[in-house]
Structure 1
Amino acid sequence: MAYRNFLPSARATNIILVLGGFALGWAIYMRYALVEQSAIGLACRGMETMTCETREMVITLYGYSVFGIAAIALAVLQFIRPSVALFTAALMATAIGVVMYNNNLSALAAGLLLISFARPWRGATA
């Protein structure tokens, strides 16, 4: 039985674009509004607000390359067994990883996501 290559439907593509744009926007906001601003870092020294805790969590996750590792892990799973949900999660993690300084692993994940379009897909309708 022959399978078609991985290609999400038009409706799934729209959802992927919206979620990918949301992830990219969140990462840009976190990087440029909270992480890189020295005034925010100084203000967060003695405070325990939700913004400061989120900033510290993102900095800690960056230190362990969690964004890049998540992107590459999800992209490898997408490459092995393509699905729309995995592709969406991998795209979101890749977008966050590229913006949040985990460029090497996230760029590799983006390449794997592109190659996954050539993989046979069992979820395709004939």
Structure 2
Amino acid sequence: MKKAPFRLSPYQVQFLLIVGFVTVGYALYLRYLAIELSTVALACDAGLQTMVCKARALSTVLFKNSVFGITALVIALLHVLRPSIVLLTGGLVAAGLGIVLYNIVLSGIAIGLLILGFARPAPATA
């Protein structure tokens, strides 16, 4: 019995486009308006307690420890083994954050594995 390859419906593609654009947009906002902007960086380092400073501190800790890239890589490996829309969405979010927030190598490999997941058959449904 031959399984069909993993394919997305048009609604799933639209959902992934929205999730991808929102994720990369937020990562760009964090990178260019919270992490790299010197006035915000000086204010946050001086002790300002706003949501931007907290998001900046959290994202800085996560990308210094390569959490975005490692998470994207693990989810992408799971997606290659057993493709699903949930794993694809999680991998897309983690890889999008990782590409923009300095975890380029691991996130790039994860994106390649996510694409490779389309060559695998979908899980059998009963």
- TM-score for both structures, normalised by structure 2: 0.94
Aligned residue in 1 for 2:50: 49
Aligned residues: 124
Deviation at 1:15, TM superposition (A): 0.5
**Residue identity (%):** 40
Gapped runs of 5+ residues in structure 2?
none
**Aligned letter for 2:14?**
N
Aligned residue in 1 for 2:85: 84
SS at match of 1:5: coil
Instruction: Find out whether 1:101 has 2:88 as its counterpart.
Output: no
What pairs with 1:2-41 in structure 2 (closer than 5 Å)? Answer: 2-41=2-41
Deviation at 1:57, TM superposition (A): 0.7
- TM-score for both structures, normalised by structure 1: 0.94
Deviation at 1:123, TM superposition (A): 5.5
* Larger RCO, structures 1/2 (Cα 8 Å, 6+ apart): 1
Runs of 4+ in 1 over 4 A off after TM superposition: none
**1:68–1:94 Cα contact (<8 Å) kept:** yes
Deviation at 1:98, TM superposition (A): 0.4
Deviation at 1:25, TM superposition (A): 0.5
Instruction: Find out whether 1:59 has 2:64 as its counterpart.
Output: no
